[in-house]
Amino acid sequence: MEESRDFRKLQIREFPKKALRGTAEGRFWRKFKSVKAVQQPGAVTHVEFCDCAPHDLAVTSSTRAYSGSLRQDGKALVAGGETGIIQVLDAGSRLVLRQLKGHSRAVHFSRYAEDKVHIFSAGDDNTARWWDASSEESLLRLGGHTDYVRCGATGGASRDVWATGSYDHTVRLWDIRTGKCVMQLQHGRPLEDVAFFPSGGLFVSAGANYMNIWDIIAGGRLLKRVSNHQKTITSVQVSSPLGVATQSTVIGGDGPRLISASLDGHVKVYELDSFKTTHSSRYPAPILSMAVSPTLQTLAVGLSTGLLSIRKMKVQTTEAKTEELDSDAPWWKRRKERAVRKTRYYRANLNDQRMETTDYEVAQRKPVRISEFDKLLKGFNHKEALIAALECKHPDTHHGSSLCQASSTSRPSCSGCLCGDAGSFIGY
């Protein structure tokens, strides 16, 4: 009889939570946190990491200099300019070591070859050139484009093959051993960036709001057109497989990943099986340049507003976690870890003493708390209970149907006293 007299609280309807559709790779890229935002004097038109450790970052942010690129050993830097002169500078002292003169217009692409002696460049005079940096002599003049040449790349199986992308909508592959164009690809729009896949068999070209994936081994066959941006794609990069392999336990794969940046302010990551987007990051302004470090630990993005955004992935090692739990640390630094460790099967007191096998728990009875509308229902104040329920703003409460259900199940005599009948409450 005593149990029948106890008041039964109103049961709030619970609905299943939405399933999280996050992937392992998405969680990996979300670990990149902003560590620095540097305002540059002009729009950041180019960013590039050095291949050797510690992977210094070269940033170009001027209307007079373009495409600053570090040599493989990080000791020298080459950059094009608005005047058409290519300058080689000492990375330490910033002294000008060489000046390569031959282009008649602005040079928007310049890179050191793998042998650290030769330089490849391309400019607005519709030509590309192959230089001997030691003698400042132009060894090859590669003509064929009919508009500005704004981008280039090398890589893959043969370092003797260079690619150039032009505003004439074409990509040309050059063999510097013969000085001839060995392949021509029709992208369909002005080219903004190009890149080789590490294997050398695939090639990506970016122009307008889409990218084309080409099979070079099959004679330049178009494999896929990827269009996930709303505005022009300004930068593409294929992440190093070595860098991804070091994170294989996180990402779930050891292959490269395709990354693109656009004027719509998004950086997108694609997996290479179906070229579907696996992650997307939003930036506050149009993106002009983007680069990922060879170790896949740092992401640098240059914006049109002159802001350089650097995001770094911070990996907490086991040793670091152990140091955080050191007893010499202040108690407020260990409070979060203690809260995690205080589970049903593990207890820790203020002195960090662990639970022994001979210890036992004493159950503490918690006071039963009832809501405001339960108190009013307990006193048969149904009108005020309805108002209180509507004002509680509980996200999972269907006030009308819940109150009506409670009144019709726990108190059958009151099933029709709340605004007439039960049906009038459906839909609140």
* pLDDT-derived band at 317, boundaries 50, 70, 90: low
Per-residue pLDDT of 276-291, as tens digits, reads 888 899 999 999 999 9
Lookup result for tokens 């802001």: 307
Instruction: Indicate the pLDDT class of residue 51, thresholds 50, 70 and 90.
Output: confident
pLDDT of residue 373: 83
Give the three-state DSSP class for 333. helix
Q: Between 256 and 211, whose confidence is greater?
A: 211
In Å, what is the CA distance from 293 to each residue of 101, 238, 243, 290?
A: 31, 11, 8, 10
Q: Which domains does the chain have, with CATH numbers?
A: 27-315 (2.130.10.10), 325-364 (no CATH), 371-425 (no CATH)
Hey, is 162 helix, strand or coil? strand
Amino acid at 143: G
The average confidence (pLDDT) of the chain is 79
Tokens encoding 114 = 């793998």
pLDDT value for 350 = 46
With 70 as the cut, is the pLDDT of residue 320 above it?
Answer: no
Q: Give the model's pLDDT for residue 96.
A: 93
Average pLDDT score over residue span 363-377: 80
Residues 166 and 182: beta-carbon distance below 8 Å: no
Query: Mapping DSSP to helix (H, G, I), strand (E, B) and coil, where does residue 428 land?
Result: coil
Give the model's pLDDT for residue 398: 47
Contacts of 388 (CB under 8 A, 6+ apart): 371, 372, 373, 376
| DSSP 8-state class, residue 238 | E
pTM: 0.68
% of the chain beyond a pLDDT of 70: 73
One-letter amino acid for residue 10 of the chain: L
The torsion defined by the Cα of 160, 157, 195 and 175, in degrees rounded to 10, comes to 20
Q: How does 273-309 read in b/e, with b if 16+ C-beta sit within 10 Å? A: eebebbbebebebbbbbbbbbbbbbbbbbbbbebbbb
Q: Which of 299-308, 321-330, 373-382 has the lowest mean pLDDT?
A: 321-330
Closest CA to 192 of 80, 51, 290: 290
pLDDT single digits (tens) 384-396: 888 888 877 665 5
- The candidate with the shortest Cα–Cα distance to 136, out of 83, 180, 96, is 96
Among 240, 246, 236, residue whose Cα is nearest residue 269: 236
Amino acid at 30: R
Q: State how far the Cα of 363 lies from the Cα of 195, in Å rounded to an integer.
A: 65
Segment 142-171 mean pLDDT = 91
Q: Are 138 and 129 in contact (CB under 8 A)?
A: yes
Residue 253, pLDDT > 60, answer no
Contact 99, 85 (CB under 8 A): yes
How many Å apart are CA 416 and CA 421, to the nearest integer? 4
- How far is Cα 347 from Cα 365, in angstroms, rounded to an integer? 18
Taking residues 362-377, what's their average pLDDT?
Answer: 79
Q: How far apart are CA 390 and CA 131, in angstroms?
A: 77
Who wins on pLDDT, 228 or 408?
228
CA distance 356 to 162: 68
Identify the residue with better confidence: 250 or 156: 156
3-state DSSP call for residue 167?
coil
Q: Which helix (H) or strand (E) holds 300?
A: strand 298-303
Residues 404 and 397: beta-carbon distance below 8 Å:
no
